[in-house]
Amino acid sequence: MVKPVATVDIVPNLPPILERLAELAYNMRWSWDHETIALFRRLDRDLWEQTGRNPVWMLGLIGQDALQAAAEDEAFLAHLDRVCSMYDEYMSPEARTWYRRNYGEFEKPYIAYFSMEYGLTDCLRNYSGGLGVLSGDHLKSASDLGLPLVGIGLLYEEGYFHQYLNADGYQQQSYPINDYANLPVQRVFDADGSPLVIEVPIAEFVAKVYVWKVRVGRIPLYLLDSNHGGNVEGIRDLTDRLYGGDQRTRIRQEILLGIGGMRLLEALDMSPTVCHMNEGHSVFLALERIGRMMKESPGMDFWQAKDICTAGNVYTIHTPVSAGLERFGYDLIDEHFPSMWKELGLTREEFHDLGRENMGGFDLFSLPVLALRLSGAANGVSQLHGSVSRSMWQWMFPDIPEHEIPIGAVTNGIHIQSWISGEMAGLYDRYLDPVWRDDPDLPEVWWDADRIPDAELWRTHERRRERLVAFARRKLHDQLEARGAPQSEIQFALEVLNPDALTIGFARRFATYKRATLLLRDKERFSRLVNDPDRPIQFIFAGKAHPHDHLGKELIKEIVKTAELPEFRHAIVFLENYDISVARYMVQGVDVWLNTPRRPHEASGTSGMKAIYNGGLNASILDGWWAEGYEPSLGWAIGSGEEYEQHEWDLQDFIEAQALYNMLEKDIIPCFYVRGRDGLPRDWLAHIKASMRKLSPFFNSYRMVREYTEEYYIPSRDRFNGLTRPDLSRGQAYAKWSQKVRKNWKSVAVQRVVIEPETLKVDEELTVHAWVKLGKLKPGDVSVQLYYGALDTRGQIVVGETRDMTCCSDGDQESDVHEFMTMLRYPTTGKRGFSVRVLPNHEDLPNPLLTNMIVWANM
């Protein structure tokens, strides 16, 4: 190793007429625009593949002769002009995007989206799996819709690991270095031309952090990089690996993301009103935000600033399994945050309490707890996951009925243009309204799926299956060669799989709850399925286990060993190093996407959604998104949504494996292989078209991002702006009110409830009166509600409804008791229950249930 005395950046030497190729290469819009991809492939198809579909690296490697030939090729120049024209129209400040049409103009982004990882395209390995791909799709859709959003993340020198298998089929990891000089990322510089450096306090150190920028269409994504020569070793290597290292490394990465991200936005002169935390990794941003407000407003304490800042924070929960939550011992909290809690004016215990979670005998500092306490809105990523999350976190809101726990749901979606094959997109262009590209969440756009000729739809999908088989053969050949397999095995790899056979894909993170080997429980029965000469089926597996998840690695090994058996080697393939490229081939080519999680452990899942748009069908446990997407005409459900206790898991696996075999034998295989006189599987194609019609309008990220905008971003922006603009006077008044309510809440009590009449006829009016003691509070400080609903066998209201009661007296001045009343009619007979509750009430309160202040009638 020799330390250089100087460095120089070498950039492509493009002929003047081709200079805009560099601009196109450095904007990730190319990754979801088939025309731009075709342009770069046209330069040199082989080099495009060799560089991992990386146009920046490609332009650095391509010979000057090839560039000069392109500069003199009229057809290529016409193609370049067409692509540049489309790019300029897309990027134009005057573009009438969905956001501008609905919410007007903006000067700077005011929504800051924080995520630990971003999966944008094949060549930029800054992601591990579904969370990162979702983040990437979120940014792409935000770009297409024109949202005023900026992304914040970390730039990893090694990214997530490269997976390969040893001769025994056991997963190994390597960590190739990302060469950012040849990737579509660019360093951010100060006004004086020097690299922008952000300083972030981490324990006793001050980390110096570089900043890189990725252009994602209209959206800027800024990534923090701790590989600065001024940092000590333990700080400099923080951004070496995604999810690498121990707990200390992890909490420091999260400090870097949250606190460093907020300081970066300040350096860029951006003041977001909405901060969206995609998972709890970035939650320390909320503390940084509070601290900044306290500094800008002398005299404001932590609790006042918290009440104001919370209004602008949105928290998306992704983890439905308690063991997967981010928690830290208080030793790490004490190591990293003493200066912060002093700056915030908190004691050590008060700071600990912000994230305290009792683990049954001991406490830990929980990032989800902290995020829920410092957010004005929270959501799960599917309707089922929202319900699971409300159950998981009910302990934080012990007096609130489970269905009212303040955690909503925004079901995930996928960015269609990133995942649809060019052939299928062309089919849609011919038969659907062209608006499918811009407004895919309009149901009427997909009604015309029935107009697509069956033969054309089938041939298009068959071509993609053939490409998948060819890809799998090449990849398996290379895997075996690298593994040192016998030559006969390597050669046989080029003959595995049948391009005409029913092809089922299973690819995801290899965690035990995803049950990748459920299919293999009865190998004899499984063998009969794959070796049926008249109706063969075949399986393509892919996925990584976490480096420390040895049980997950054993699952991979079992699949690989099964695939080596003579009766399976032609019909089962495991593809190494699952990434965006492998995923794209699979979702575009499989006939069925299989998913077998242990319900309700799948938060959402998005891989099966990608198959929808490519003519694939889903067969899944009713978990995650499929629990709300499934109908019998659209695909297949394994089981009926049953949930089992842990001691029953072995029985569950047996039952659901048998259900899966039965489904394959009696439903999926016959549906695929029963052909008409023209050789087309009419029933199968009917399923595909029904899936397109009913699922396509909903399970896309345009709908998802619009939902976030309408239900979370805009309301959060309006609340935060209302509290802080033109000055903090309204926010301070709200915080003062909040403190008054907290101080006096113990005095609130429902003293008496009278319901007349006690026996009620259908459509007869019921009158409810309640006398509520408010102490020093006024009727306007509270909301008194009638809570009513059907009773269960134990006489409890199961899922109640609420109705606000009206104050109808000034109260007794001495006792401060106020009378409230409301009326109600019932259209049906039955036993009903009633209660009365009191909640805080203020026009600037995001959600009264988040305060965890609630008083019930106790009679």
Query: How would DSSP label each residue in 214-253?
Result: EEETTEEEEEEE---TTS-HHHHGGGSBTT-S-HHHHHHH
Residue 36 — left, alpha, or beta (φ > 0 → left; ψ -120 to 50 → alpha)?
alpha
496 in Cβ contact with 468 (< 8 Å): no
Contacts of 533 (CB under 8 A, 6+ apart): none
- pLDDT at position 758, please? 76
- pLDDT at position 813, please? 59
Give the largest Cα separation in the chain, rounded.
Answer: 95
Contacts of 770 (CB under 8 A, 6+ apart): 750, 752, 753, 754, 784, 786, 805, 819, 820, 821, 836, 857
Show the tokens assigned to 245.
Answer: 């290292």
- pLDDT at position 790, please? 87
Within 13 Å and on the Cβ side, how many CA atoms surround 763?
Answer: 0
What's the alpha-carbon Rg for the chain, to the nearest Å? 29
d(CA 379, CA 708): 10
Q: Which residue has the tokens 């270095």?
A: 177
pLDDT tens-digit readout, 333-359: 999 999 999 999 999 999 999 999 999
* 635, 641, 647, 653 alpha-carbon torsion, rounded to 10°: -20
Local structure of 200: helix, strand or coil: strand
Instruction: Indicate the pTM of the whole model.
Output: 0.96
d(CA 765, CA 753): 17
Buried b or exposed e, range 76-110, using 16+ CB within 10 angstroms: beebbeebbeebeebeeeeeebbbbeebeeeeebb
Show the tokens assigned to 148.
Answer: 């005023």
Contacts of 656 (CB under 8 A, 6+ apart): 518, 596, 621, 638, 639
d(CA 291, CA 301): 9
- pLDDT at position 316, please? 98
- pLDDT at position 829, please? 76
d(CA 832, CA 789): 6
Question: Given 3-state DSSP classes, what are the helix, strand and coil percentages for the chain, each rounded to the nearest 5?
Answer: 45, 20, 35
d(CA 542, CA 714): 39
- pLDDT beneath 70, residues of the chain: 1, 5-10, 810-814, 859
Q: Please give the C-alpha separations between residue 82 and each of 35, 86, 191, in angstroms, as whole numbers.
A: 9, 6, 35
- pLDDT at position 795, please? 83
Contacts of 851 (CB under 8 A, 6+ apart): 738, 741, 742, 839, 840, 845
CA angle 698-580-9, nearest 5°?
125
